[in-house]
Amino acid sequence: MDLIVSAVWRAPVFAGFDGFFDTQKIKSVYFEVAGSEFHGKAVVMGALTLYLDFINLFLFLLRFMGDRRQ
């Protein structure tokens, strides 16, 4: 049952969350700090946020697809 829930629910939800919510959050922060001294830091933090989200999604998929030896 966990396999079905993971395939149908977790992977698409996390991918959608990463694709929509985080990019919108990064965009709003970018416009909020535009022209200030935090502009460069906001860009780096946004890139790191997306990077970590995709790493977590990749690790989830590895756990989901792996460990079939019994």
DSSP 3-54: HHHIIIIIHHHHHHIIIIIIHHHHHHHHHHSTTSTTHHHHHHHHHHHHHHHH
Domain interval for residue 24:
2-65
pLDDT, tens only, 52-68? 888 888 887 787 777 66
Query: Does 58 map to a domain?
Result: yes
pLDDT, tens only, 20-53? 888 898 899 988 988 888 888 888 998 998 898 8
The number of distinct structural domains making up the chain is 1
- Looking at per-residue pLDDT, the higher value among 33 and 3 belongs to 33
Query: Does 9 map to a domain?
Result: yes
Query: Does 70 map to a domain?
Result: no
